[in-house]
Amino acid sequence: MRTLQKPGSTSRRSTRPTGLSHGNPWRTEKVYFEGAAYFRGLIQAIHRARHTIDLETYIFEKGRVADHFMSALEKASARGVRVRILVDGVGSPDFADHYGSRLDKNGIAFKIYRSWPVFFTHAFHHFHLYRLIESRRWFQILLRGGNHRDHRKLYIVDDGRVWIGSFNINDDHISRPPQKRPWRDTGIELGGVSNPVFRLAFELAWEDSWPRRLGIGYKYLLEQQLYSHLSGMPIRMTATRRLRVAYRHELLEHFRTAKKHIWILIPYFVPNRALLKALAQAARRGCDVRVVLPGLSDVPMVQWVSSAFYAPLIRAGCRLYEYQKNILHAKTLFLDSWILVGSSNLDYRSLRMDLEVNVLPQSERTKKKLEDRFRKDLSLSKEVTAQMVRQRPLSIRFLSWLFFRFRFWF
């Protein structure tokens, strides 16, 4: 069994990685654990962009960070760079009100991905109300389509440089006075990207005109790149149903076959029955299973749902922790040597509904930095014991029971 050593001081930004093979779809990796450094690197790249800038994010919220991005994007557009912004309708409900006219004025294209107003427009105009009433199938299709979200944080500059991770474009990821601490996040910058997968995924989401899918060609090419070469491709893009199914199966297989350790750092933990069973079985066979969850969450309902899994996992021998320093928002999985970083959570939405993007870091230096950071996060967390679970207030138990019934909607 692999044991955790006391973490030492680690750098928050990586340097140029080593050990990348010639077959990788990118040449360099840089890992970030601080929003200020991540945004600074991305904005600098925007200032140097020559051809295209495509930003796809769940949240683009008015504030200091968004204003810096807007200024950089306007300057890029003024010098002839094609700029496009794609935001989610649920995550960024006020985006068009705050920035729409400003973007139009500067010639910057933007789209809102499947907002609820768009959902209702399609429901009552493209389909007749009587069809919804008489056909349960149509109602389910419409409801599922309206509940589908773009949860990716994918930033592409001149095709060759890509940023992914858990950083939205908002002020939660930077320090704010008087005592507002930035969220704990992880992001990766990829340089010298040669694979078209990121571009294809963006184009597919950009051309999405639900319920009529216009980007069929992009979908075919994306699945051809990812599904046909899954074992050798270090990119996990849940952009289609087929890719989501493949991702779930692969994830479950790694949970079932892990021999040394399963370390999970995740903000939204609502595993399905198969993953929950695989975690428990891994702990029983001697695998070092450790799950770090938020002590303070930005979505308390999800935290209450997650607590419903504490007792069975602890009984099986899993060790659970709650991060104490600030809000945990990073998403990283360590399954032996298989390390995954990106936007995906372990919940129903990420596994079955939403658009997500993750990568498997290829540099040994990057992997070591991620492992060192996990150890540091572990030292900033409080372990949850069986006694603590039994002593939870009755009100928390009730909320856990109640919101567990609605776990598929968070």
Give per-residue pLDDT as tens, 129-184. Answer: 444 445 555 555 555 555 789 999 999 999 899 999 999 999 999 987 666 789 99
Position 303 scores a pLDDT of 84
Report the alpha-carbon distance of residue 117 to residue 121 in Å, rounded: 6
Position 5 scores a pLDDT of 43
Please list, in sequence order, all residues whose beta carbon lies within 8 angstroms of the beta carbon of residue 263, skipping any fewer than 6 positions away: 288, 289, 290, 291, 292, 333, 334, 374
Tell me whether residue 157 is exposed, middle or buried, using C-beta atoms within 10 angstroms of its C-beta: 0 to 12, 13 to 18, 19 or more. buried
Q: Which domains does the chain have, with CATH numbers?
A: 28-114+149-209 (3.30.870.10), 238-409 (3.30.870.10)
pLDDT confidence band for 210 (50 / 70 / 90): low
Position 281 scores a pLDDT of 97
Percent helix, strand and coil across the chain, each rounded to 5? 45, 20, 35
Mean pLDDT for the chain overall: 86
Position 229 scores a pLDDT of 65
Structure tokens at 337: 């040597």
- Edge-to-edge order in the sheet of strand 161-165: 28-32, 187-191, 161-165, 154-157, 52-57, 82-88, 109-113
Structure tokens at 268: 């939204």
Position 86 scores a pLDDT of 97
Q: Give the residue among 146, 107, 152 at the shortest CA–CA distance from 127.
A: 146
Q: What is the percent of the chain with per-residue pLDDT over 70, rounded to a whole number?
A: 82
Position 395 scores a pLDDT of 82
For 45, list phi and psi in degrees, rounded to 5: -65, -40
Asked if 326 and 184 count as a contact pair (C-beta separation under 8 A), the reply is yes
Asked if 318 and 253 count as a contact pair (C-beta separation under 8 A), the reply is no
pLDDT for 3 beyond 50: no
pLDDT confidence band for 69 (50 / 70 / 90): very high
pLDDT top residue among 121 and 195: 195
pTM: 0.86
Per DSSP, which regions of 296-336 are E strands? 319-323, 332-335
**CA-based torsion, 376, 377, 381, 384: positive or negative:** negative
pLDDT confidence band for 367 (50 / 70 / 90): very high
Q: What is the mean pLDDT of residues 332-355?
A: 95
Tell me whether residue 202 is exposed, middle or buried, using C-beta atoms within 10 angstroms of its C-beta: 0 to 12, 13 to 18, 19 or more. buried
